[in-house]
Each structure stands twice: as structure tokens, then as C-alpha cells.
Amino acid sequence: MVAAFAFVACCQVPGYSATRPNVLFIAVDDLRPSIGCYGDTQAITPNMDRLASRSVLFNRAYCQVAVCNPSRASLMTGMRPDKLGVWTLPIHFREAMPDVVTMPQWFRKFGYTAVSHGKIYHNPTPDPQSWSEPIRDLPPLPYVYPEGTRSQIKKAQDALPDNDWRKNNLRGPSTASPNLADDQVLDGARTNMAIEDLRRLGKQDDPFFLAMGYIRPHLAWVAPKKYWDMHDPAKLPVLGEQHTPTDAPAYSMHNNSELTHYVDLIKLPRPWDDRDVDTEHARHLMHGYYACVSYVDAQIGRLLDVLDEEGLADNTIVVLWSDHGWKLGEHRGWGKMTNYEIDARVPLLIAGPGVDRAGEKTEGLAELLDLFPTLCEMANIEVPDFVDGASLVPILQNVDAQVHDGAVNQYYRRLNGNQYMGYSIRTNDYRFVEWRDFSTGEVTVKELYDHRTEHSETVNIVDSVDAGVVNELTALLLESHPRKGLVMRPKIHSAPQANGGQGELSFENKTDTPIRVHLVAPSGKRDRGRKVAPQGEVTMKQKMGSVYVVESLDGTIHEIHPLSKPVETVVIERD
């Protein structure tokens, strides 16, 4: 065995009162600030607006990476991506830093019961170690697409070339409006479960940290029909005359591939293509996005209602955040995955005890990794020394306060066999981007956008401004992100032996809880794993030097095992 890791929640700090505030931690996937309280007149979001009326609304909050996995990993560990070593979708943070302590783990140390529903971490790897209770499965739900959709998908797959990345992985249509009740669709069903726990946890003596992660408005844009009917698509402001940022490097933009994963969008144009998404198609896609935002808003309203009904509102911190923004045609793009304002800027609302300026808006810069120290301070528990963020409590007490001179986000890109890391710092006046060679840290190109004159970041002006501006922004960026080479491969990964042959590694589960066994690829990516029931066994055959991660579904076991002998059995037991 390479390692087995014990987690901080096993050892609570004595002497802490159970009267400290609860935390309701609401994540909404792919939510840009298309919310009424952020000034979007097309959004129908009465419940998020209601939450904003008793929150401080952060108008300039930014994610660390504009894609799901690294953004959430950074937020939940309080660490910048370069420290954590997670920049892309495939790598689980436990392979990058196996003994890292997450926010809910830290709260458990101080007597909190931490429970999760939905998407808090990246979907394939929900991190059971973080939670006091196993994550429960959803009940079976109806198929949301019309009859014949599966045949449509198969026909489209069969027509793709053999080397197409979607050949065996094509998804259903990008939109659907089933005539179903809210709780017969994914996010509504999860809200039912979260409400059950909210009522249950609110009656116990210990404070709770309840996380509810909504999948919409992430694709596919599926919401019950009534939420589509709320919006008149003719009134949606379809964008025209868009272009990619002038004088920016070719690798600054993403290629819209996320949407082309769906059967009806296989041929969606890339931002730099000559053809564009036609107006009516773009209007339909926007309609789907806004319908999903309204659907999620209604589910958030159900949570807020229960807080009031149970008498919990006055003693519960409520945080609403999104993992990144989203383009609805801006820069001719659809999706996230850039360093620009439209993808990096996120909604952030914080309400509850300690929020002195409820109902007010702040222009103070904030980063998502600030949530870890902020919630610790609001809950009156120790702020760990490993977090990189800054507490936002000064802004909760005075919306004119400033805790950052700049907010940093970054994005990894490959082009023509080369790897780059772009670092972007947003100040009150500018967005400055420095692209570097990934393995050496050498600067390859710079971008600069002046937010005093326009906010759409359409023209890179780095070569036409006073050099002093660039030098000042460079120095500010280097304070937190010095130039250095990076390595993509995480600490835990397989290293198959060239001439070692195959071996067999058997896992016997001698515990009373299910476990899951994941093969970790040489790149560091986990597979989806094999579930092993209590008293069950599984045998894995791989090349010598392969590495497996074993986790129990109740979060009490996390072990790393290499395949180092031709035949070996590992017995998984409780300590």
C-alpha cells in the first residue's frame, strides 16, 4: 500500500458551542449574472432576488478557473490552482494533493454536520471524505426527451467518422421542455432531498453545513415546460456583430466544443469560423438558458421557504455562488473556458448573521477562494493557515471596503502541440492577461483591456498604452503568480512498467460500507471505478506499476494501492 489518509473531521476540536450559525451553501453550475438582482431585465428570478435583498451582492466576484473541476476544487480547498495542482477537468484534487482538507471537512472539525446534495465537486468524483454522511442516490426519474430521441442519437453517431471524439459519446439534444413537475426533473428531485435534510438537521443540537449543488443551467438545458413558457423568446437580446478579441493570441478563445457534444449542435461553428449561429437558433439556445435559470430559481425559493418555516433563517449563513460564467454569443462563443470577463465573473450572494449591510451591493473585488476564510470567520471558527483567499467579512460590514487590489483567474490551453497557461488579473480599471509557456513559465504574449471605457473586452490594447500601466499590472500579478514552470501530472498516477507484464490486484471489502475502486491513468485521471459491496471482492488486471484509489462511500477510507506483484490481494478493513 502506498498510503492511507486520515481526515481532519475524525478529530473534533473540543469546547465549541453548538449555537454557532448553520451554513446553507448553494452552488449553481454555469450561472452567469443573468439574474434580476444583477440588472438582467430578461431574467425571471424572484427567489434569488429575494435572497439578494438580505445579502451583500458582490458585483465583481471572479472564479479561479472558468471550467468546473478546477474552479470547484480551488473554492472547496481555499487554494489557488497552482498550489493545488488542478487546472483541467480530468484530475481529481485527491490525486494532486491526497491529504488536502476541504471546507466541509474543516467545519466538521468544529462540530458541524456536513451533508451534500447535487453537484458541489466535479460530477464524477464527489469526494465522500468531505461529508458526515454518505451522499444519497436520486430516485429514478422520467426520461426528459421525446420518444425517438435515442434513435436520433444513434443515427447521428453512426454517421460520424470513426476517429470523431463523439463517435461513442454523443449526448442527447441540447434543450428539452418536458411537461413534468419540478421534482420529476433532476434539480427538483435533489431539492426534495435537501429539504428533508434541512428540516432534519435544523432540529439537532449541532450546527449544519448543508451543500446543495444545482446542475442547471449547465447543458443540457432541460427545464419543465412552464419555465420555458415564462419567457418570450422574441424579447431575448440575441447578440450580433460579435467578434473574437482583436490582437489576442489564437489560444485565447475556446472552440465551442462543449456544445458540439450534443446531437443537435454537432456542427455549431467555432468563434473564428466564417459562418455564425443563425439568429433563431441563438434565440432558442438563449431561451433554454433563461428557462433553466428560472427553474433553478424556483428550487432555491423552496429552500428559502423551508428556512423560514423551520425558524432557521436568522441563524443560517446562506451563500449562493456559481463556478464560472458563460458566453451566450459574446466573442462569437458559446460556453465558458476563457480568461475573459464574461467567463470569469460570477454571481455571489452572502446573507445571514454578520452581514451588516444586507440588501446592498459592493464593487469590491472578490475571488471564489475567499469563501473558505470568509465562512470560517462568520462561523467564529479558526481560519486555517493553508488557505490562499482573503476574508470578505470587511465588505459584509462595509460595502465600500476593499480586500483585493486584483482578482486572478487562469486558464490552460493547448495549441499545435504547445501548452500555455494564461493568467488574468482584474483590477478596478483593467483586465491584464499574461500567457506563459506551461512548462517553463516564459511569457509568450500579453493582453490588456480597459474597463473604464468599455466592458466587452474586444480589443487588446497592450501595445498602445503607457508602459507604466503594463508594468504596474505585471508586478501585481507576479505577487501571487510568479513565473515558473508547471507539471500537469499529479502526485498520484500510474507508471506502467515497460516490460513488467500484467498483474492481478484483488480487493476484498471487509468493512460494513460499500467501497469504490478507481484506476488512476498515467495522466492522473481516474476512471469511474468499480463498486464493491460490503464483504464483496473485485479483481483488477492491469500492467505492473498501475495505481488504484480506494474510497468508501461513507468517506472514512481513502487508500492508494500500486500493482507491484504479479498476484496480490488487498484487504480493506476499518482501523
Yes or no: say if 139 and 235 are a contact pair by the CB < 8 Å rule. no
Give the number of residues written for the chain: 575
Is the C-alpha dihedral spanning 423, 427, 432, 434 positive or negative? negative
Q: How far apart are CA 476 and CA 480, in angstroms?
A: 8
Question: In whole angstroms, what is the distance from residue 282 CA to residue 292 CA?
Answer: 16
CA-based nearest residue to 285, from 332, 338, 221, 231: 221
Is 68 among the residues known to form the active site?
yes
The sign one gets for the Cα dihedral 487, 490, 492, 494 is negative
In the chain, what is the straight-line distance between the N-terminal and C-terminal CA atoms, in Å? 15
Distance CA 369, CA 64 (A): 8
Calculate helix-pair angle for 371-378, 68-77, nearest 10 degrees: 40
**E-assigned strand segments in 106-233:** 113-118, 175-176, 208-214, 221-222
Catalytic residue, chosen from 92, 117, 122, 558, is: 122
Is the Cα torsion angle 12, 17, 22, 27 positive or negative in sign?
A: negative
What is d(CA 183, CA 44) in angstroms, rounded to the nearest whole number? 19
* Residue 162 to residue 77: CA distance in whole angstroms: 40
Closest C-alpha to 401, from 365, 369, 360, 436: 365
- Is 39 within 8 Å of 223 (Cβ atoms)? no
287 is catalytic: no
The whole-angstrom separation of Cα 129 and Cα 553 is 8
Helix then strand then coil, in percent of the chain rounded to 5, is 30, 25, 50
Rounded to whole angstroms, what are the CA distances from 172 to 183, 223, 292, 492, 528?
A: 21, 14, 17, 34, 21
**Do the beta carbons of residue 491 and residue 97 sit within 8 Å?**
yes
Q: What is the C-alpha separation between 341 and 66, in angstroms, rounded?
A: 10
* Count of helix runs (H) and strand runs (E) in the chain: 13, 24
- DSSP string for residues in 24-92: EEEEETT--S-SGGGT-TT---HHHHHHHTTEEEEEEEE-SBSSHHHHHHHHHHT--HHHHT--SSSB-
Measured from the Cβ of residue 11, the count of other Cβ atoms closer than 10 Å reads 10
Q: How many CB atoms lie within 10 A of CB 34?
A: 20
* Given 37, 63, 68, 292, the catalytic residue: 68
Which active-site residues does the annotation give?
A: 68, 122
